[in-house]
Structure 1
Amino acid sequence: MRRSITAALFFLLVLPVTLRAQLLQPVTWQMSAEKTGTNEYTLIYKATIEEGWKVYATDIETGGPVPTSVNYEKIPDGLTMQGELQQLGRKEEAVEPLFDNMTLKFFHKRVTLRQVVTITKDVTLKGFVEFMTCDDRQCLAPEAVDFEFKLVADEAGSDTETAGHDGILTPVKWQVYSEKIDETNYYIYFDASIDNGWKLYSQNIKPGGPVPTSFKFKNAGSGYALIGKVDEVTRPEEKKEPLFDNMMLRYFKHHAQFRQHITLTDTAAVVRGSYTFMTCDASQCLPAEEVDFAIDLRSGLIIATEEPGEDTLEVAEADFGINTTPLGSCNDETGDTVTTAEGKNRGFAGIFLLGFVGGLLALLTPCVFPMIPLTVSFFTKRSQSKSKGVFEALFYGFSIILIYALLALPFVIYKLPPDTLNAISTNVYLNIAFFVVFLAFAFSFFGYYELTLPNSWLNKADSASNVGGLVGIFFMALTLALVSFSCTGPILGSLLVGSLSAEGGQMNLMAGMIGFGAALALPFGLFAAFPQFMNKLPKSGGWLNSVKVVLGFLEVALAFKFFSNADLVAHFGILKREVFFIIWTLCGIGIVIYLLGWIKFPHDSPGKVKIGPARAAFGIIFLALSVHFGSGILKGGNPFLASGFAPPMFYSIYPQDTHCPLGLDCFHDFDEAVAYAKEVNKPVMVDFTGWACVNCRKMEEHVWPEDEVYKLISEEYVLVSLYVDDKEMLPADEQYVSAFSGKKIRTIGNKWSDFQSSYFGVNSQPYYVLISPDGQVLNNPVPYTPDVEEYASFLECGLSSFREAEQVAEK
């Protein structure tokens, strides 16, 4: 009674204060419904509390402040509450002077309430959250915040959503239950519902790829025994997986069911354990997750996972003191979209120009160059008028372009998916095959043998060219393409592999082929329109063979680029960065001494080579390139012309100073990184990564080594790489239950995963966040970003925001 009177007097005293401070809103609420299973939702009520204020728990004594509560206007038909309302957050308990020194429970900073419900039809649930907040001097009047949830029931066969609350990916939903066989024998079933586009891996896969699904039974032998191993009731698919270097893997799509046979040995009927699984889609994998379970066999009910006598972990929130509101917006979504589109346009133009240059080089080969005057002469003689001759020659040029465009058409029609195209650049066997093919092309250019198409192909095309009209002209162009294959084949092979290996894939190849055909067609159209220019062409001879030999040395250099790809992926350890540059330097020196006439090849003319201005100029150019690439042999050497071609900096014959990617200095603990950042006054680059993260390795191997990115990371940021799949156990006093996800945080990887999920609402890797030493997020975080320019812009944006904030602070 005394406490009730005290509370009433207290409200009369604070009422004027409340009226004067009616603008105070120290607590904000966010309501959401997360779909967590078939016809199952978790209702989430999340409060963000300003510094110095507190919100009281749901289970406090009467006579003091108003407890937090969730109230419903009416529970609709078809909706059932599952379990009690959960309070998630760092709950504190202390004496409260404002309420006659009552011992009260309350939350600072954040508190999340969760209620699981199931539905049998579409329902609308209305109600309000009532709460009261106080600081050390005053309290605000109790407040009610309305909510309304519209919950949609699943249709038969419908798929659940992959993305849950705040963008967290949950593509696999599990259900564990038991089935009684007889009085002592049971089956335990593990049913996985898998969202479209995602895969769950089998128990039976080879090491070196994804984490296999596995099951542990913690108390086996204590009241029950396992009969055999866990069966895979659902039959898995078995295919090559591009994300894991085309390993042959077994996986499930849409649904998977596992079953364990158990027999009871005494009256104990509780089975405790855990299951571990990993899931991937076509472009990314989520870190492996371990989930505890405990089931009462006789009732079939899921029960608390802690064993009797086991210490219960406290519920807590990841608290790293970060303000997640971006300081700058220089890399917002609109900017990213524009940058990406511009990058693709520049990519197509670059591939077209590359193909055009390849076509110009093909014109200088002995297979193509002598055909120009012969073919143009043929057209001018067969035409009855000059205008018709020009038209037919121009159509001939158009036919050449069309033929090379048609070579790319199958890749565009079948629309090879990105993961298939990516396999071309990462598959070990394909890269070794390209290495062998390029060497074969190189020795063909050197003159040791000639690569030609079957005579039957050539004869049929030549016969068709004798047909009159435009059809005959088209087959004349086809004949040229086939006859010149021995010289154009190596150039086309380089263009094919280079285009498909680059981002843009099929359309890159189409642009490159059109460019190549345009360069070949150009002289035919020009010389047909202006035949007098043909008299000024140089006569074919030894200089054309010199062009082939130089191209042969270039083919050797390109061949080792593909062997380097295979070496990096398979970790052969053969073609380290310095060895690569030795080979490229030797190719350059080989060109120089060939141009000087010190070495000869089978098709070279006998006698002394006359060194004219052109030979001398090219000799000087390739000598300079040899010196340039030779600098890469030295420790730390980084020839800029080889950027993107040479192995990464960390793949070196010289010992590395650190175990971080690319030999960078980095931390693996967030607090240590922040402490160091404060010392050196640099922003922190948080790299949420994983040991089994494929896209993380792609970023480290293909984006980070680029000069503009590497320089920013190494010189302007303090790098901290947090591995979300690190299995090292946390000390017992640091383990907790996540207030965000409700999961047990027992390993270092769990801790970093909870950090990422609870602060940024994302659980896929890689994920990059730029933070100032005082905990302010500098700009919008980014996930996997293979575009080098876009990623460099992200780093520059964060650095710019950091420097602007410093200037403001100094004022």
Structure 2
Amino acid sequence: MLSYTFYFSQTEENPVVWKSSINKVSETEYDVIFEATILKEWHLYSQYNPEDASLPLEINCYSDKNVGYKLIGKAKESETFKEYTEIWEKEEVFFKGSATLTQRVLITDPLITTIKLNVVGQVCKEACIQIDEVFTFSLKENKEVIETVSLDEKSKLLSKKLKLNLKNTALLKPTSKEESESNSSLFNIFLLGFAGGLLALLTPCVFPMIPLTVSFFTKQSQSKNKGISNAILYGVFIVVIYILLSLPFHFLDSLDPEILNTISTNIWLNIFFFAILVFFAGSFFGYYEITLPSSWGNKIDAASSIGGIIGIFFMAVTLAIVSFSCTGPILGSLLAGSLTSDGGAMQLTAGMAGFGVALALPFALFALFPSWLNSLPKSGGWLNTTKVVLGFLELALAFKFLSNSDLVGHWNLLKREIFIGIWIVIFFGLGLYLLGKIKFPHDSPSKKFSFSRISFGILVMAFVVYLIPGTFKNPTWNLNALSGFPPPQFYSIYEQASECPLGLNCYKDFDEGLAVAKQVNKPILLDFTGWACVNCRKMEENVWSNPEIYSILKNEYILISLYVDDNEKKLPEDAQFDFKKANGKIKKIRTYGDKWSTFQVVNFKNASQPYYVLMNANLEILNTPQQYTDIETYKDWLQKGIENYRKSQ
């Protein structure tokens, strides 16, 4: 028998020490024996650990090719232990103290002189470390010690502690309240899309088509009822068409729940959104038209002459194509806004549905009540004014996406005060336009302006005045109404006491924050956040800024803020690794964003931000996780966490 020892000192970072040997059974069979010494309180999981729980131990041939040997069944195991875990809600099978595994190997090629076996698995205590080792054995009895190698240096194992041994995990399950909040969020997005649809109705591409289309259905149909039903069906098809546009994003979402969040925080995608919205703004200003190929419209228009339900459907498609020069920029903003939100594809569908309903509603209503057509305002210069106003709004929104790129990339170019200064210039320009001081190509030469236009211009100028203090070092007010749009307050051209929200002390590494919590004996507020997260900024600037909540955060908790979209800040080379997901797929952990987004999903089965978790240093959950909410709810939640922490002590 030949023995090979894995020479590494046994520590918390390296809780398993391996000793291996090979024993010849016959001319074609060998027993490979792995002996593991396991540090106290650590568990190494058996080959027979149930699915969807901690990773079971596996022994495999190192190469997938025909290497001249194969394994005979699974390895025989020494004594194992069983224990029910609330994390997975299953009875897990594991070794503690020591483990011995004997794997029978069949030699199929008598010419080979060595075999290599790969041992993978997981060892856990408060955190988990993945085992991934390669052992090389000589089949020559006179061969002495063979080098045993590891696929990863031991230092990399430190970064693999992505899975926590959480306690009291029943609190992590979604509550009916969280589900209702999710539904409320979708409804809010629907309303936002509906508002976008109403704005689209007030553009020159859509508004003049309302009376023409309604008249067509009511006059060309065989009966009044038939005309009404056709107009309503036309409206239904408009809604269906815009919902269909969102379906491809559900496919992406199903492939990987994190993919839309990854896309939305991508620097170059945000720059693309910035460029495209600036381009859309130029179109709204009247410098050029954005249209789909005319051949598309001609072919679809020809198809609409078929008649019946199919003809009505193609009429709806024709409207979508012909009106694209006005609806495209609004839809582009809706798409960009949905992808940079946490709801992803569902939010996009809700927004598209709201947009389609708003666009379709007038066609159905005016078909039901044709006399209302007489009350519609006549087309005129006000339609172009609406387009230009939308152009200024598109331009302002564009800089939000440029700001996302700047924040995620840590470029330090578009600081908070600079961003606000750009908005001051944009909205000052809008105010001057509404007051008739500047003009655009399609504006009418009329010198008289309506009372509503002048009033709106004055209101915009008042908004500019509201923005100005935001450029000061010590502003007289904090622009809380705009929370989430400008960069965070600590991202400033002026020197700040802390790079954490509101000047609080925070830790941006979980292990570091956990160590401090143990030292000072305080509970932890785990804050999953993002540089490009609008709702995170709203919580920090509108809720955390409340004096009572601020005092609790500052004095009672250890704040650990993990930025899941920090995808440009690389981990040290010796901390980068490939993470094997439960479904077998490999995710490359190369950046801090990769690490913390995976950390959140693995431990809390959630990929949205903000996401707040209260726990103690023993990883006991102290209260149901919280997301975007109001001051009173958040304050009560923090206080309940403190109460539960004291009970746990």
TM-score (norm 1): 0.55
CA contact (8 A) 2:238 2:356 kept: yes
CA contact (8 A) 1:82 1:117 kept: no
Equivalence for 1:576: 415
Equivalence for 2:485: 645
* Distance (Å, rounded) in 1 between the aligned partners of 2:221 and 2:332: 36
Structure 2 residue 311 is the aligned partner of structure 1 residue 472: yes
1:188 pairs with 147, 165, 173, which one?
A: 147
1:276 pairs with 128, 134, 156, which one?
A: 156
Deviations 1:36-90 (A, max 9, x none): 79999xxxxxxxxxxxxxxxxxxxxxxxxxxxxxxxxxxxxx9x99588x895xx
1:718-757 matches, within 5 Å, as: 718=555, 720=558
| Cα distance change on mapping 1:567 and 1:483 into 2, 3 Å | same
1:716 pairs with 552, 574, 586, which one?
A: 552
* Distance (Å, rounded) in 1 between the aligned partners of 2:612 and 2:250: 32
* Distance (Å, rounded) in 1 between the aligned partners of 2:42 and 2:227: 83
CA RMSD in angstroms comes to: 5.1
CA contact (8 A) 1:597 1:609 kept: no
* Distance (Å, rounded) in 1 between the aligned partners of 2:258 and 2:221: 51
| Cα distance change on mapping 1:669 and 1:603 into 2, 3 Å | closer
Equivalence for 1:707: 542
CA contact (8 A) 1:180 1:186 kept: no
* Distance (Å, rounded) in 2 between the aligned partners of 1:416 and 1:149: 31
| Cα distance change on mapping 1:352 and 1:114 into 2, 3 Å | closer
Deviations 1:652-698 (A, max 9, x none): 111012355663245878898899x8xxxxx9453679xxxx97878
* Distance (Å, rounded) in 1 between the aligned partners of 2:561 and 2:246: 42
CA contact (8 A) 2:44 2:122 kept: no
CA contact (8 A) 2:524 2:614 kept: yes
* Distance (Å, rounded) in 1 between the aligned partners of 2:498 and 2:80: 56
| Cα distance change on mapping 1:469 and 1:564 into 2, 3 Å | same
* Distance (Å, rounded) in 2 between the aligned partners of 1:378 and 1:394: 13
2:204 pairs with 366, 370, 384, which one?
A: 366
Equivalence for 1:624: 462
Equivalence for 2:133: 174
Say which SS state the counterpart of residue 449 (structure 1) adopts: coil
Equivalence for 1:780: 622
Deviations 1:591-617 (A, max 9, x none): 2221111111111111413232x2234
Moved more, 540-549 or 157-166: 157-166
Between structure 1 and structure 2, the one with the greater Rg is 1
CA contact (8 A) 2:122 2:130 kept: yes
Residue identity matched to 2:149: F
More strand by share: 1
Equivalence for 2:27: none
TM-score (norm 2): 0.67
* Distance (Å, rounded) in 1 between the aligned partners of 2:612 and 2:375: 61
CA contact (8 A) 2:43 2:94 kept: no
1:112-151 matches, within 5 Å, as: 120-121=75-76
Equivalence for 2:389: 550
Deviations 1:472-524 (A, max 9, x none): 11111111111100000000001111112211211211111111111111000
Say which SS state the counterpart of residue 788 (structure 1) adopts: coil
CA contact (8 A) 2:415 2:493 kept: yes
More helix by share: 2
The CA deviation at 1:788 is 2.9
The CA deviation at 1:588 is 2.3
Say which SS state the counterpart of residue 384 (structure 1) adopts: coil
Structure 2 residue 562 is the aligned partner of structure 1 residue 562: no
* Distance (Å, rounded) in 2 between the aligned partners of 1:457 and 1:482: 8
Structure 2 residue 336 is the aligned partner of structure 1 residue 456: no
The CA deviation at 1:533 is 0.8
CA contact (8 A) 1:779 1:797 kept: no
Equivalence for 1:593: 432
| Cα distance change on mapping 1:416 and 1:438 into 2, 3 Å | farther
Equivalence for 2:600: none
Deviations 1:375-414 (A, max 9, x none): 1111111111101110111111111111111111222245
Say which SS state the counterpart of residue 171 (structure 1) adopts: strand
Equivalence for 1:233: none
Structure 2 residue 629 is the aligned partner of structure 1 residue 799: no
The CA deviation at 1:563 is 0.3
Equivalence for 1:381: 219
1:342 pairs with 158, 163, 180, which one?
A: 180
Equivalence for 2:260: 421
* Distance (Å, rounded) in 2 between the aligned partners of 1:170 and 1:671: 18
Any gaps of 5 or more consecutive residues in structure 2?
1-14, 21-30, 48-73, 83-91, 106-116, 563-569, 573-602
The CA deviation at 1:154 is 11
| Cα distance change on mapping 1:543 and 1:182 into 2, 3 Å | farther
* Distance (Å, rounded) in 2 between the aligned partners of 1:81 and 1:797: 49
1:679-698 matches, within 5 Å, as: 684=522, 686=524
| Cα distance change on mapping 1:781 and 1:618 into 2, 3 Å | same
**Aligned residues between the structures:** 522
CA contact (8 A) 2:484 2:535 kept: no
Equivalence for 2:594: none
* Distance (Å, rounded) in 1 between the aligned partners of 2:632 and 2:103: 46
Structure 2 residue 243 is the aligned partner of structure 1 residue 405: yes
